[in-house]
Amino acid sequence: MQDASTSPMPAAAAPLLGIDLGTTNSLIAVWQDGQAQLIANALGDVLTPSVVSVDDDGSILVGKAAKARLTTHPLRSAAAFKRFMGSDKRFELGEHRFTPEELSALVLGALKQDAEAYLGCPVSEAVISVPAYFSDEQRKRTVFAAELAGLKVQRLINEPTAAAMAYGLHEQKFERTLVFDLGGGTFDVTVLEYALPLIEVHASTGDNYLGGEDFTDALLLACLRDWGLKLEQLEPQALASLHDAIDQFKHALGEGQWTLTWQGDGQAREWQLDELKLQGIWAPLLARVRAPIEQALRDARLSPKELDSLVLVGGATRMPQVQQLVAKLFGRLPYRHLDPDTIVALGAASQAACKARDAAIDELILTDVCPYTLGIASQRGEQSAGAFSPIIERNTVIPTSRVERFYSTHPEQKTVRIAVYQGERPWVRDNILVDSFEVPLQPTGQIQSLDVRFSYDINGLLEVDVTFIETGLKHSHSIDRSPTGLDQDARQASHERLSRLKIHPRDALPNRTLLARLERAWMQSLGDERELIGSWLDTFNGVLAGQQAGEISRQRQQLSQALDELRY
């Protein structure tokens, strides 16, 4: 598996694409010449930051340029919006207001442009990865984001499963593996078994609100606490600057003692941190890692000793403290030879090839599981209304069809309300409502029995069939795949809102990205270094005004290298 930033693919070949839509970074890969290969963006990078910003001229920036503007223009930029997929949260960027799926669509659109530039042909379909523990609603919103970007989702694949697929094709081994996937915003654990051509998922669980961003936020709050400051005391730009500095600080942490130096609110500040203090700050987060691991092993009916290997996925697994915890829990070191940042995209592209029955991979069989329990609201006894009755238990292999019998509550009852929930709590009030509908009932003067059947497919589409035993009447209901709360008018409004946006030209993005980096570096520097970066900014603006492509390219390369050396 290799980088596909060169040697354009023949236009006649069918583009088999896989996308990792991540909280921090997103990637796109293509199945080509019998293997999955990563596609580089306009800057030559395979990682595209999942960040969107509105430029000063009103155009939309996506990726590295937008990430740099998080510090300089925090009120016109947004990141980590994947964490809010499926919610009603709105992001205000200047004069624009976006939903999480609209921002995700802009990232997907940028990846789509990169793929089309490389392939030399239009792109319309892809396999997209999602966290294993994403809810039904979050999966539907992901499909809608792809629709807004002009992409049809061939299949949604769970991120750990995609990683396992890429790993299995690479290793060609027969073994039991645990995939530990800690990304920027979500945490998933999947236990699976390789017996190629079969890859069988046994259990999958996780935490949708635990990721690298939480480790950064914990450091940020601890730093402010030591300085005697509160979040609300900092101006948005100062807070964004400190968050950026803390994030860079986190990536540099190893062993020993560290010092953070920051200038952002009118005075220079330092923060001292040692290993013992760091452990105390991150202890609550690291403790949350244990429960999903224990549940996945319990559901798979395996002990840690029965595992043959561990695979780390997601950029947050690069943190030494996370690697130490994993090694301690399992008594062994995880595999590190595959890039945790790129393995999900490669696996998604491999799944796309499977779906298209590519000759190089058509023997591979992948099974997956439903990671959460699905059931309905019911009544247990006279005083137990609102109980949760499971029909499909978590970690059931999919596709699957399960049926349970229920009874009406009154002899003259005229309707039955079927309320579908997902979750692991005994009462529906503590679980997530997926959908509800009413079924007419013919009064018979007796309590009636009814069978409720759930049929769940590999994309997370749930079919509900209700059969009344005494009368033989049947009612079928498909869970609506359109986002909850969005009727056709609202969906159309999202399409129109995005179609009116001015997207920054892809071929000009390297120049705009360098300008954003220079502006951020100037903001973060002081004294002679700030003066030097200011001169570079003036020089590059002058070169851009000259409109000489060769000189612009030469200056861009030199200044990018200079910023890299200064670690900006």
pLDDT digits (tens, 9 = 90+) for 37-48: 999 999 999 999
Position 12 scores a pLDDT of 46
Q: CA dihedral defined by 242, 244, 247, 253, rounded to 10 degrees?
A: -70
Query: pLDDT higher for 550 or 3?
Result: 550
Q: Is 159 a catalytic residue?
A: yes
Task: Label residue 383 by pLDDT band (50, 70, 90).
Answer: low
58/64 Cα distance (integer angstroms): 17
Handedness of CA 240, 231, 280, 209 (dihedral sign): negative
Task: Label residue 334 by pLDDT band (50, 70, 90).
Answer: confident
End-to-end CA distance of the chain: 30
Answer for the pair 279, 328: CB distance below 8 angstroms, yes or no: no
pLDDT at 68 over 90: yes
Answer for the pair 147, 128: CB distance below 8 angstroms, yes or no: no
- In one-letter notation, the amino acid at residue 439 is V
Answer for the pair 135, 83: CB distance below 8 angstroms, yes or no: no
Query: pLDDT higher for 16 or 508?
Result: 508
Residue keyed to tokens 């990726």: 63
Task: For residues 256-273, give the mean pLDDT.
Answer: 82
Q: Which of these, 260, 294, 215, 252, lies nearest to 23 by C-alpha position?
A: 215
Grouping H, G, I as helix, E, B as strand and the rest as coil, residue 177 is strand
Answer for the pair 76, 69: CB distance below 8 angstroms, yes or no: yes
Q: Is 20 a catalytic residue?
A: yes
Position 219 scores a pLDDT of 96
Position 92 scores a pLDDT of 95
**Residues 6+ positions from 288 with CB-CB distance below 8 Å:** 187, 207, 210
Q: Which of these, 459, 380, 455, 373, lies nearest to 421 by C-alpha position?
A: 373
Task: Label residue 251 by pLDDT band (50, 70, 90).
Answer: confident
Peptide bond into 505 cis (omega under 30): no
Check 101, 114, 137, 181 and give the catalytic one: 181
Task: For residues 524-538, give the mean pLDDT.
Answer: 89
Task: Label residue 167 by pLDDT band (50, 70, 90).
Answer: confident
Answer for the pair 46, 18: CB distance below 8 angstroms, yes or no: no
How confident is the model over 146-161, as pLDDT tens digits? 999 999 999 899 898 8
pLDDT at 344 over 70: yes
Grouping H, G, I as helix, E, B as strand and the rest as coil, residue 291 is helix
pLDDT at 73 over 90: yes
Q: Of all residues in the chain, what percent carry a pLDDT higher than 90? A: 53
Task: Label residue 79 by pLDDT band (50, 70, 90).
Answer: very high
Task: Label residue 5 by pLDDT band (50, 70, 90).
Answer: very low
Query: pLDDT higher for 561 or 484?
Result: 561
Position 1 scores a pLDDT of 46
Domains assigned to the chain: 372-478 (2.60.34.10), 506-565 (no CATH)
**Residues 6+ positions from 502 with CB-CB distance below 8 Å:** 57, 58, 59, 60
Backbone dihedral region of 485: left (phi > 0), alpha (psi from -120 to 50 degrees) or beta?
Answer: left
Check 101, 114, 147, 159 and give the catalytic one: 159
**Residues 6+ positions from 54 with CB-CB distance below 8 Å:** 60, 61, 76, 77, 93, 94, 95, 96
536/470 Cα distance (integer angstroms): 82
Task: Label residue 7 by pLDDT band (50, 70, 90).
Answer: very low
Average pLDDT over the chain, rounded to whole? 88
Check 55, 64, 67, 82 and give the catalytic one: 82
Q: Of all residues in the chain, what percent carry a pLDDT higher than 70? A: 92
Position 382 scores a pLDDT of 65
472/127 Cα distance (integer angstroms): 40
For residue 100, what are its two tokens? Answer: 């999480």
Residue keyed to tokens 């970690």: 395
Handedness of CA 514, 118, 123, 484 (dihedral sign): negative
Q: Which of these, 93, 152, 149, lies nearest to 499 by C-alpha position?
A: 149
How confident is the model over 173-225, as pLDDT tens digits? 678 999 999 999 999 999 999 887 788 899 999 898 899 999 999 999 999 99
pLDDT at 162 over 80: yes
121/30 Cα distance (integer angstroms): 13
For residue 209, what are its two tokens? Answer: 């609100």
pLDDT at 459 over 80: no
Residue keyed to tokens 């790129």: 342
101/486 Cα distance (integer angstroms): 12
**What are the beta bridge partners of residue 190?**
179, 204
Q: CA dihedral defined by 350, 353, 357, 359, rounded to 10 degrees?
A: -80
Q: Which of these, 31, 2, 10, lies nearest to 358 by C-alpha position?
A: 31
Task: For residues 255-266, give the mean pLDDT.
Answer: 77
Task: For residues 377-402, give the mean pLDDT.
Answer: 87
